[in-house]
Amino acid sequence: MTNNSSKSSVFISYSRRDKTFVQKLHHALNEGKRDIWVDWEDIAPTEDWREAIAQGIQSADNFLFIISPDSVKSIECNKEIDHAIKCNKRLVPILYREVEDNSVRPELAKHNYIFFQNEESFFENLEKLEQALDTDLAYIKEHTYLLSRAILWQQKQRDPSYLLQGTALKEAQEWITHSLNQTPRPTQLHNDYIITSIQKSKQFLRRIAIVVGALGLIAFASFLVALSERNQAKEAELKAKSEEVKALTGWAQARLLRHEQLDALINIIRAVDKLKDLPQSSSEETFSDFAQIPIHDQVEQTLRQVVYTLQELNHLQADQKTIYDVQFSPDHRWIASASADTKVNLWKNNQRQTSLLHQGVVWRIGFSPDSQMMVSASEDKTVKLWQLNPQGNWTLKQTLIHPVPVRSVTFTFTDQCSQTGQKIASAGTDGLIRIWNLEGKLQRTFQAHTGTINDLKISPNCQTLASASEDRTAKLWTLDGQKKATLLGHENQVWTINFSPDGQRIVTGSFDTTIKLWDQTGQLLKTLEGHANWVMSVIFSRNSQEIVSGGEDAMLKFWSREGDLFASLLSPHGDIGSINISADNQYLVFTGDSGKMSLWQQGGSVIEILRGHTSGVTGVHFSPDGQLMASVSNDQTVKLWQFDPQAKRMELQQTLEYRKGEPEGGLKNVNFTPDGQYLITTSYDNTLQSWNVKKALTHSSIQGEIIAKNNTVVNRFRISSDGKRLALASADGTIKLWDLKSQKLLKILTTNQSPSLTNNGINQCQKIQQGYPPQSTDVAFSKNNQYLVASYSDGCLKLWNLEGQLIQEFRGHPQWINALRFSPDGQLLATTSRDNTIKLWQWEKTQFKIDQPTKILKGHQDWVWNVAFTSDGKKLASGGKDNTVKLWNITTQSPSDQSDLIVTLQSHIDWVTSVDFSPCNQDNKDYPNCHQRLQLASASADQTIIFWKMEEVLRIETKDNHETALQSLFKKGCQWLSVYLETNPDTPEASDIRSACGETKPPSDQPGNKILSPDQ
């Protein structure tokens, strides 16, 4: 496909059964001199067809999808959609043959269709298509061009010679700034490529402010100009201050884009401090041409974004040499680093406490399970055993002399097995493994590899020793030197190896840029590809559910237990040499260039972003006791999460697969039975599945039992509070009532019935005279389980008794109702709609009061997808197509008032599809033993669930003692920085932050206190 600069190019994805239509469309688009990629003419006979298709998608400006019953079910078509989404391509859906609304991928469905069902209007619709394809032509072509260059840079292992320079870099900066208000958005690879290019350029300090924050060089230049003139006029002085605030805010946004969270916080704190000096007229000035909001609002939004997502706790700076290994002590009181500077550096109390010396590079270190001993392996041909004395100092206990440089060392006992017969295993450049006792006596030596052994690890049950070598193999051994398995497949030296804490899996990382996932016997399960350079470190999370890797490409990558990549983070400190996770799974540390280390908590300060799904998340729900949370996704998995009161975060416990790899296996909804023993899910294959929760937590291989089959898509379902009945809202307009125990269909409620009670002509719904009936979109049981209320795509609500008698119907919204939910006391019904509103309806004994809603909540800028009440019924959360979660106070008396809105939460980057509050919280007397405060979960098409710490949200956003949200956010930001400033008192910005924040002390529950704080 050549590049025709006058028109945007197109990739066409289609089912073979629609080929005749596609040929006609292809011919028509060709007539218009447009470049088109289609698989019957763009794949050479010798090409790998999958790779050719991937390249075709990457090189096209638009991804055109022909919607038909066959294409939406096609496995290959769905893979093409996945790649287009990964590349953030503009999606253009063409409806050729009718399909059910819910069978179309949400990522496509959110775009306006171009209709080609009618042959007679083909050319009229072609004109609409041409206009859609060429919208924002220059922007979309630059998106494609920069992606192509970024992919090449990635393929060349991020070689700096492939970075942007000169005019190309300047144009890329302007483009990414413009992208703030454009779709499709840049990919993470776009961002990494452009920012790395800027960083390498000589003018980095001037240019980075352009990239994010919509400031551009104009803002910074204006700041400099205005600064020089500030003594000439008051107007110039105010202008200087205003531009300084803008510049600092832009710096904060740029740093956040690069995951430099502490630097982002420092800059936005400085911006808020400078904002105090601006009169109201200046703070209300428009921020920029791209961000048409007042400066004050932009600063507050940026501060909220930074504070809510904070994970980076501290920077630890050792000496200026490469760090090869970093470890938490099991009691997470110490962090130790092994370095090329010949030292083992130990950190505690937010400070480097001591340095233990070798005579050469220190390659590996390890703590004993009780944190009282430590071993270090060095190029100086020694292993040193260190002891923590009662005074809290590390002293040398033994030196184990080797004939060759030592590259790896480990204790051979763990907290899971007996500490009798404690040993140390070491290995070096001669390929031998040596076993020592703690008195320093060599007990056994055996030849393990033909090259240097780079790493040694002991299995959790102490039965298997694993070794990784430069001879391109890893091996499994008994402690007496008997080989159990050889792990073959890497094409370069294997640098690192680790067991999962449950002992079921092994990961290896290699200089061939890959990670390999093995079972406990050494059988290869999967090769993980994604790094562009040497993999230096790979480790399992402490619950064995995630894999974290890092390497010489400066990327921190997160993978599921099954080896699916779900997140990447560009290291703020360059190439990553080592990664470690604390024993409580709460903290992560990784190393960077020149002796730098970054300490992060796994959850955010106010929110925790739960990653792991590889497609849009369609549903989320807490268990009745609030201890578990379930999520479902188009990736055909159910994930079970559990709240860890020690770590104060949700942790992934299990991933269950449903019809993996089949096109109709995507899961749509999820809920627990009232007793919490079973999960019920629905799928796009029109079935409902039941999962035994107890078995699911221990066996990932269990399959959901199909308990109901429907003749069409189930939009939503509800379980009665007594656990006896299941109600389904179907795309065919019916409500189906099932007996949950016997799995028998009890009733089918249809829309063509007339109500037995009149509504006095108020909001009457009209019967469908022709065409298809409206879809039933949601259903709910009344609190006493005697009634069912259902919502419909025509905006109507219908009330039934369980005998199937229609009691009441009325028009609730002028457009499609997406969801409904009763308040906990059953007195209010909340409905959400495509009219961008939520309405609350009062329940009166046996029916609804419908002359007017009790309250109308307005504020969403697009469809409202879902809604949830807090357990006390006083607050309500809503999630929308505008990518936001809104929190409402519903106790006010006015029927419609913006004051009902507590806060808009903006951390998702795509539709918010589902929201749910935890029923378990310490303020709810029904749960006296609950370990957590009120929490909110929101699921999104952006593939994440966000776990909102509502106590923190309300503390910040609810005005108390005349403290504004900006002041609350500022205070929290200052508290967060206090630990960083204690560790790094001499940074250039330290004096400014101390001046702005004053003598702020961290609260007792500040994250990180437990790791780098005095003994308690």
282 lies in some domain = no
User: Cβ contacts of residue 46 below 8 Å, gap of 6+?
Assistant: none
pLDDT of residue 405: 97
Residue 1001, amino acid: K
Last residue of a domain, one of 88, 103, 135: 135
The percentage of the chain sitting over the pLDDT mark of 70, rounded to a whole number, equals 85
Asked whether the predicted pLDDT for residue 656 surpasses 90, the reply is yes
**Better-predicted residue by pLDDT, 6 or 337:** 337
- pLDDT (0 to 100) of residue 282: 55
Whether the Cβ atoms of residue 712 and residue 730 lie closer than 8 Å to each other: yes
- Is residue 941 situated within a structural domain? no
Q: H or E stretch including 519? A: strand 514-519
* Percentage of the chain lying above the pLDDT 90 cut: 47
Mean pLDDT of all residues in 937-965? 83
pLDDT at residue 5 greater than cutoff 70: no
Per residue in 124-139, pLDDT tens?
888 889 888 888 878 8
Tell me the average pLDDT across 144-149: 86
Tell me the pLDDT band of 375, cut-offs 50, 70 and 90: very high
The predicted pLDDT at position 283 comes to 53
The angle that helices 965-983 and 950-957 make with each other, rounded to 10 degrees, is: 120
d(CA 860, CA 173): 32
Q: What is the pLDDT of residue 655?
A: 92
Between 749 and 106, where is the model more confident? 749
Residue 490 is predicted with a pLDDT of: 97
Per-residue model confidence as pLDDT tens digits over 85-135 = 888 899 999 999 888 777 788 788 878 889 998 888 888 888 889 888 888
Least confident span in 513-517, 522-526, 698-702: 698-702
> Among candidates 939, 936, 887, 935, which has minimal Cα distance to 913?
939
- Residues in CB range of 526: below 8 A, 6 or more apart: 516, 517, 562, 563
- Average pLDDT of 940-958? 87
Per-residue model confidence (pLDDT) at position 173: 72
Residue 351 included in any domain: no
Average pLDDT over residues 302-311: 90
* 120 inside domain: yes
CA separation for the pair 635, 693 (Å, rounded): 20
> What local confidence, expressed as pLDDT, does residue 1004 receive?
52
Question: Contact 831/819 with Cβ under 8 angstroms?
Answer: yes
CATH number of the domain enclosing 24: 3.40.50.10140
pLDDT value of position 894: 60
Neighbours of 721 (CB within 10 A): 16
Amino acid sitting at position 904? T
Among 181-195, 213-227, 413-427, the least confident range:
213-227
**Taking a C-beta distance cutoff of 8 angstroms, is the pair 343, 322 a contact?**
no
Q: Is residue 564, in this structure, part of any structural domain at all?
A: no
What does the pLDDT read at residue 956?
84
Question: Residues 347-373: pLDDT tens digits?
Answer: 997 788 899 999 999 999 999 999 999
The answer to whether residue 484 sits within a structural domain is: no
Give the pLDDT band (50/70/90) at residue 716. Answer: very high
214-217 long-range contacts (CB < 8 A, ≥24 apart) are: 214/177, 214/180, 214/250, 214/287, 214/288, 214/289, 214/290, 214/291, 215/246, 215/247, 215/249, 215/250, 215/288, 216/173, 216/174, 216/177, 216/288
Burial of 1011 (C-beta count, 10 Å sphere; 0-12/13-18/19+): buried
Q: Is 724 helix (H, G, I), strand (E, B) or coil?
A: coil
Give residue 564's pLDDT: 87
| CA separation for the pair 840, 834 (Å, rounded) | 15
Of the pLDDT bands very low, low, confident and very high (cuts 50, 70, 90), residue 896 is low
pLDDT tens digits, one per residue of 446-465: 999 999 999 999 999 999 99
Cβ atoms of residues 998 and 273 within 8 Å: no
Encoded tokens for 827: 């007195």
Residue 315, pLDDT above cutoff 80 = yes
- pLDDT value at residue 216: 38
Tens-digit pLDDT profile for residues 19-37: 999 999 998 888 877 888 8
Go through 48-84 and write b for each residue having 16 or more CB atoms within 10 A of its CB, e for each that does not: eeeeebbbbbbbbbbbbbbbbbbbbbbebbbebbbbb
Specify the number of domains making up the chain. 2
Range of the domain at 131: 10-135
Boundary (domain end) residue, out of 83, 110, 135: 135
Give the pLDDT confidence score for residue 217 in this predicted structure.
Answer: 40
Highest-scoring range by mean pLDDT, 590-599, 657-666, 889-898: 590-599
pLDDT of residue 153: 85
pLDDT-based confidence at residue 898 (cuts at 50, 70, 90): low
| Residue 397 vs residue 281, higher pLDDT | 397
Residue 554: inside a domain, yes or no?
no
pLDDT at position 57: 92
Region 779-790: mean pLDDT is 95
CA distance 707 to 681: 10
Domain ends where: 709, 727, 744?
Answer: 709
pLDDT band of residue 395 (cuts 50, 70, 90) is: very high
* Sheet strands (E) in 845-983: 847-849, 855-858, 864-869, 875-880, 885-889, 901-905, 912-917, 935-940, 945-949
Sequence-distant (6+) residues with CB within 8 A of 103 are 69, 72, 73, 684, 713
Half-sphere exposure for 269 (CA within 13 Å, toward CB): 28
Residue 49 in any domain: the answer is yes
Mean pLDDT of all residues belonging to the chain: 84
